[in-house]
Structure 1
Amino acid sequence: MAGNTFGQLFKISTFGESHGKAIGVIIDGCPSQLPIDLDFIQSELDKRRPGQSKITTQRKESDTVEVLSGIFEGKSTGTPIALLIPNEDHRSKDYEHNKDVYRPSHADYTYDAKYGIRDHRGGGRSSARETAARVAAGAIAKLFLKHHGIEIFAHVSAVGTINAPHLEDLSIEELLHLREDNIVRCADPATAKQMVECIDAVRKDGDTIGGKISCKVQNCPVGLGEPVFDKLHADLGKAMLSINAVHGFEYGSGFSGTEMKGSEHNDIFLPASGNPKTLTNFSGGIQGGISNGMEINFTVGFKPVATIMHNQQTINAAGDAAEIKGKGRHDPCVVPRAVVIVEAMAALVLADHFLRNKVTKLD
């Protein structure tokens, strides 16, 4: 199976299945001497772990991370860092009814058609459980970026048709406090209350709902990204679209930019003695595929979770008509737990491009 490795210089490879003994990640390319805060890594995993609240899956996983290699006396050694996260609460019997039928809008059929074998217990490698390994790796990427002054913040900006207002005037520290003060991880308290009520109502009805996560990067230096195939926004887009249930990615003005004229959309440079700033930021901090020093911002759209607690028509492996009903423990909406995944994938992209950008010209 291809596609288990991400990045060029700051590179990760994840392994394991949802109902196997463990999942994990190997991080190759992390520079040596980086202070590694294990408590921070665990706190990041705690934001993604299941069983957090009434609006998330009730699967109970501590997601306790174990370091196997690459860290000595609290610092990275420059060798591959291996992190392991045991699976503790998999109930494979909950998936026996899926053994010979394909769940609508899941990877069951495509996985089976491609590989001729599939792990029906939670989806195997196609399960969102794999993203815990990305969060662990992303935490180390965050530590690397923070060492260089780069900060990343994401929050739930929409659930269904409920949209949070733009939060422009608050610091990342203030936004983090507001976000972590509610179970939906929206940094606007009034909107968060509406979102929680919506998700809980959908959950009680046995259904699911989608949402959006907005992310911003501050203090990113000028020059990350390449002008052709390795554009920074292209790699961010690939990273986000590789997350389970993601159906859309837009940066800067996004699709709303298609409704504007060039005279409205152009970001006008302001006079400056150092790196110039722009009057607006419709470019989302990236121009020509290269970061321009302005705040990078983007939004990620998540579809409703495919497993619902209603009877649905489907087919079995023989192509015959069948009926299926969701069982087990599933999220009614993925976005509260996906915030930290979005941040992790952004951190992995930026750390990789930061290292790739180290020498681009001779002084």
Structure 2
Amino acid sequence: MAGNSFGQLFRITTFGESHGEAIGVIIDGCPSQLTVDLDYIQGELDKRKPGQSKITTQRKESDTVKILSGVFEGKTTGTPIAMLIPNEDQRSKDYTHNVDVFRPSHADYTYQTKYGIRDHRGGGRSSARETAARVAAGALAKLLLKSQGIEIVAHVSSVGKIDAPNVEIKDVQEFINDREKNIVRCADPATAEEMIEYIDSIRKQGDTVGGKVTCYVKNCPVGLGEPVFDKLHAELGKAMLSINAVHGFEFGSGFAGSEMRGSEHNDIFVKNNVGDIATITNFSGGIQGGISNGMPIEFRVAFKPVATIMQAQATIDSEGNAAEISGKGRHDPCVVPRAVPIVEAMAALVLADHYLRNKNSKLI
């Protein structure tokens, strides 16, 4: 199966299925002598793992990562890094009902038609369980970026029609502390409580709901991104749209920018108080001409409602006959609380790759 690798210089390849022995990732191109903080990597995985709260799936996975290669005495060696995350709490019997029946809005039908075979247990390779491998790799990419002063942080900015107010990030760690004080991972406490109550009410109805994650990149240098096809926002868009359940991506002013005039939307250049070039506004979202301009990068990622609902739905079987199916097992009523570290990880993978690529952009 193609399409399992991402990145050019900082390149990852993930492997494994939801109900297999393990999932994992191979990272190639990570520079040598980067200090590897295993506690930090595990901490990022803990934010994504299932069973965290009443508003997430109750599947119990420790998501304990093991580094098999590429690290010696706490530092990267420049050779391929292999990370393995065992699957510990598979309940494959929960999926016997959909061996020959296609679940609405899942990848069952498309996988079956494309390959002539599919792993029906939790969706196999199409399961969001695969994203744990991305988070592990993304945590290493974040460590690389942190060594250069680049910080990435995200939070849940909406659930259904409940929107959080815009949050100003004065200190990244304070923002993270505020976000982690609630189980929905929204940095605004009042909105978080409203979101939690709503998600729980949806869960009790056997239904699901979508939401948005807003991500910020602080201290990104000027020059990341490539002309034409590898524009930074295009790469970020591809990365985000590769995440399970993502149905939308916008950066800067996004779709709202289409309603503005150029005289309103243009970001005027000035020198800031330390003598660097900056812009008064940031409708560009930190990216102009596909290249980072030194302003904070801001983008939003929209997630659809989780496809598995605990209600009976009409569908068809593999023979084309009418059938009925109802969700079983353990599933998220809303994916966005656990998606925050996935969004950060994919952003880090893009930026780490382009940080290294930018080293070749000029002689001096």
TM-score normalized by structure 1?
0.99
Unaligned stretches of 5+ in structure 2? none
Q: Which residue of 1 aligns with 2:334?
A: 333
Structure 1 counterpart of 2:128, which letter? A
CA contact (8 A) 1:157 1:213 kept: yes
Q: How many angstroms apart in 1 are the aligned matches of 2:25 and 2:218? A: 27
Q: Which residue of 1 aligns with 2:288?
A: 287
Q: Which residue of 1 aligns with 2:318?
A: 317
Structure 1 counterpart of 2:63, which letter? D
The 5-angstrom pairing of residues 77-92 of structure 1 reads 77-92=77-92
Q: Which residue of 2 aligns with 1:300?
A: 301
**CA drift at 1:267:** 0.1
Q: Which residue of 1 aligns with 2:357?
A: 356
**CA drift at 1:362:** 2.2
Structure 2 counterpart of 1:57, which letter? T
**Alignment deviations for residues 36-86 of structure 1 (CA, whole Å, 9 cap, x no partner):** 000000000000000000000000000000111000100000000000000
Q: Which residue of 2 aligns with 1:136?
A: 136
The alignment status of 1:51 with 2:51, answered yes or no, reads: yes
- SS state at 2:361 partner: coil
CA contact (8 A) 1:252 1:283 kept: yes
**Alignment deviations for residues 216-251 of structure 1 (CA, whole Å, 9 cap, x no partner):** 000000000012000000000000000000000000
Q: How many angstroms apart in 2 are the aligned matches of 1:23 and 1:39? A: 19
What is the Cα-based RMSD across aligned positions, in Å?
0.8
Q: How many angstroms apart in 2 are the aligned matches of 1:287 and 1:75? A: 35
**CA drift at 1:111:** 0.5
Q: How many angstroms apart in 2 are the aligned matches of 1:243 and 1:101? A: 24
The alignment status of 1:222 with 2:222, answered yes or no, reads: yes
TM-score normalized by structure 2?
0.99
Q: Which residue of 2 aligns with 1:105?
A: 105
Q: How many angstroms apart in 1 are the aligned matches of 2:283 and 2:352? A: 24
Q: How many angstroms apart in 2 are the aligned matches of 1:233 and 1:270? A: 23
CA contact (8 A) 1:252 1:285 kept: yes
CA contact (8 A) 2:267 2:280 kept: yes
Structure 1 counterpart of 2:350, which letter? V
Q: Which residue of 1 aligns with 2:345?
A: 344
The count of aligned residue pairs is: 363
**CA drift at 1:169:** 5.0
**CA drift at 1:168:** 1.6
Identity %: 77
Q: Which residue of 2 aligns with 1:183?
A: 183
Q: Which residue of 1 aligns with 2:237?
A: 237
Q: How many angstroms apart in 2 are the aligned matches of 1:118 and 1:288? A: 41
- SS state at 2:363 partner: coil
Q: How many angstroms apart in 1 are the aligned matches of 2:141 and 2:169? A: 26
- SS state at 1:229 partner: helix
The 5-angstrom pairing of residues 34-49 of structure 1 reads 34-49=34-49
Q: How many angstroms apart in 2 are the aligned matches of 1:53 and 1:106? A: 24
Q: How many angstroms apart in 2 are the aligned matches of 1:256 and 1:172? A: 26
Q: How many angstroms apart in 2 are the aligned matches of 1:61 and 1:169? A: 32
Structure 2 counterpart of 1:163, which letter? D
Q: How many angstroms apart in 1 are the aligned matches of 2:14 and 2:209? A: 28
**Alignment deviations for residues 124-155 of structure 1 (CA, whole Å, 9 cap, x no partner):** 11000000000000000000000000000100
Q: Which residue of 2 aligns with 1:70?
A: 70
CA contact (8 A) 2:169 2:175 kept: no
- SS state at 2:105 partner: coil
**CA drift at 1:271:** 3.2
CA contact (8 A) 1:223 1:292 kept: yes
CA contact (8 A) 1:275 1:293 kept: no
Q: How many angstroms apart in 1 are the aligned matches of 2:271 and 2:245? A: 43
